[in-house]
Structure 1
Amino acid sequence: MSRDWRRSKMNIKELLNRSDQFLAEKGIESSRLDAEVLMADLLDMERINLYVKYDYPLKSNEIDTYREMIKKRAQRLPVAYITEKKEFMSLEFMVKEGVLIPRPETENLVETVIEYCREQEIENPQIIDVGTGSGAIAVSLAHYLDDAKVVGVDLSPEAIKVARQNMEKHELSERMSILKSDLLSEFIKREIKGIDIVVSNPPYISEAEMEDLAPEVKKEPKTALKAGEDGLEYYRRLIPEAEKVLKNEGRIFLEIGYQQAEAVTDLFGEKWTEVEVEKDYSKNDRIVSALFKPDAEA
């Protein structure tokens, strides 16, 4: 970085302009936005407030801390890992390296489950979120469905720790729990049945697609992204396991890659009906859901 960064006196506007330029030179397309998000985090204020405080003189320790944040971003570390937080469903979640960052498109999955529970008037729905990661899906469902009982499961110790912290942050411990489990194996072992809903945003990126991911995405845990040669490994495992825990006419909701709808729907056998595909806000196929109805088996 240039000597300008070492100046003892700079205001917000000056430092933002230098940061924007520096990040752009490093190939960061969202250079201005990222610079502002990091500055707002540093000063613990809303990003919009930066504009009315452009002339605020930064202290030398603030400049030094911000400089380190910008250096990390220039190395393609995701902004959420630098700030250790990410907004999802209008809620703030803590995230850390080693845990998947919640995606905006996954909000479609949560909204679909919430709408389904309300339309079907399911009382005290019992929901399992498989591969909970930061707990974003599980916490959001418990927050917006105030009578739901939600269990988030993951195999990663890092994810379990972060998910529990987010559960406690949003004061949902009475209706939520986080469990270590390889998909639904713990529920099957304990012979837990009668679950209303299984929801999951599983890994669904193929080995070939992994090579083409953005540098930032490659900083996230591969175990939360990669799903075998064709990207369908976890769907093949999860759908049969869901049959062992769902109640009759329970439903599964799965996030999918935008080209996977046909391949995933083909995995549902005769015990499933009402297999549906829904699009996200970008009009891409994003959610597959199906009703478990073993009585419909021929």
Structure 2
Amino acid sequence: MEELSAVRHKAIAALADAGVPSPGVDVDLLLCHVLGISRSELKLRELRGDSFEASHREEFTQLVAARRTRIPLQHLTGVAHFRYLELKVGPGVFTPRPETETVVQLGLDFVVQQALEAPNCIDLCSGSGAIAAALASELPGSKVWAVELSDDAIQYTKANCLPHQVTVLHQDATTLPEDLEGIMDLVVSNPPYIPPNAIPREAEVRDHDPAMALYGLGDDGLQIPRAVAGQAMKLLRPGGYFVMEHAEVQQDSAATMLREAGFTQVSGHEDLTGRARATCGYAPHR
């Protein structure tokens, strides 16, 4: 029976040979998934020189083989980690990215700065529900809505949001009920925004994230974001805050888009890698 350490290093080499960007992390997470343990327990077992149980060999081998074909790690484990949450994900839903965590933080900072005790927040184009669930879990007393159109993604939106008492709406984010207009303190959105000619280089994104969650339509990829910005203006109360994620190259056009929609004090923000990631603005006092 092989030692766990040897199995781990062989798997890392196999993923690295296939061009997987983070083979060490991926192998550790696959091992934890198969063994049902934490990463700290995995490290402890490796340091002790524990063996890798033969009963887990076939499942782990199949998962490594699948990851070599660039099937997303999150589709293999069924979970994605986002801020303080473990979310359910899989085929048919956009896998939440670490950079979107900074987008959530912009919204949280606004609520704290305004000292809002029971803010109304809404996540447009919610997908997995990552943004809505994070807001609800980190803002006690808040009322949060999540809006998602996709029939495939909505099961994940509900699974991740309903435990946090988020109201989930299965409909187009650009045509919402009138009774929601003018009551929101915060609108956050990570809409589809990739231009039609900008095919993602990463196989995990290009081949496995749903096109509906990627491409924003129009020559610049901002047709859907423009409609979302217009909807956000209707939803926000005077002085409310809008946060929209976009591509790095869309920084200037996103700012123009928000100003044209009527937002004031428009500002761009970078993620933790220093890339332009979001643009924000305030609904004017009418």
TM-score w.r.t. length of structure 1: 0.89
Unmatched 5+ residue regions in structure 2? none
Aligned residues: 281
Counterpart of 1:238 in structure 2 is 228
- Name which of 70, 74, 81 aligns with 1:80: 74
Shift of 1:59: 3.0
Counterpart of 2:283 in structure 1 is 292
Aligned equivalents of 1:216 and 1:243: distance in 2?
Answer: 34
Q: Equivalent residues in 2 for 1:17-32 (5 A)? A: 17-32=9-24
Unmatched 5+ residue regions in structure 1? 1-8
Shift of 1:10: 2.4
Aligned equivalents of 1:48 and 1:73: distance in 2?
Answer: 22
Aligned-partner residue type, residue 241 of structure 1: Q
Aligned equivalents of 1:33 and 1:89: distance in 2?
Answer: 17
Aligned-partner residue type, residue 209 of structure 1: A
Equivalent residue of 1:137, what SS? Answer: helix
Aligned equivalents of 2:161 and 2:231: distance in 1?
Answer: 25
Shift of 1:49: 2.5
- Name which of 247, 255, 270 aligns with 1:279: 270
Aligned equivalents of 2:135 and 2:160: distance in 1?
Answer: 13
Equivalent residue of 1:216, what SS? Answer: helix
Q: Per-residue displacement from partner, 1:35-77 (whole Å, max 9, x unpaired)?
A: 1211111112222332321233333330001011111101101
- Name which of 164, 186, 191 aligns with 1:202: 191
Identity %: 28
Say if 1:187 and 1:245, in contact at 8 Å, map to a contact too.
no
Aligned equivalents of 1:84 and 1:259: distance in 2?
Answer: 31
Aligned equivalents of 2:225 and 2:215: distance in 1?
Answer: 12
Counterpart of 1:264 in structure 2 is 254
Greater than 4 Å deviation, 4+ residue runs: none
Aligned equivalents of 1:224 and 1:72: distance in 2?
Answer: 23
Shift of 1:167: 2.4
* Counterpart check, 1:40 vs 2:32: yes
Aligned equivalents of 1:136 and 1:122: distance in 2?
Answer: 21
Aligned equivalents of 2:273 and 2:214: distance in 1?
Answer: 21
Counterpart of 1:4 in structure 2 is none
- The Cα RMSD (Å) is 1.7
Aligned equivalents of 2:226 and 2:119: distance in 1?
Answer: 25
Counterpart of 2:41 in structure 1 is 49
Shift of 1:294: 5.8
Equivalent residue of 1:260, what SS? Answer: helix
Counterpart of 1:5 in structure 2 is none
Say if 1:194 and 1:248, in contact at 8 Å, map to a contact too.
no
Say if 2:125 and 2:191, in contact at 8 Å, map to a contact too.
yes
TM-score w.r.t. length of structure 2: 0.92
Equivalent residue of 1:185, what SS? Answer: coil
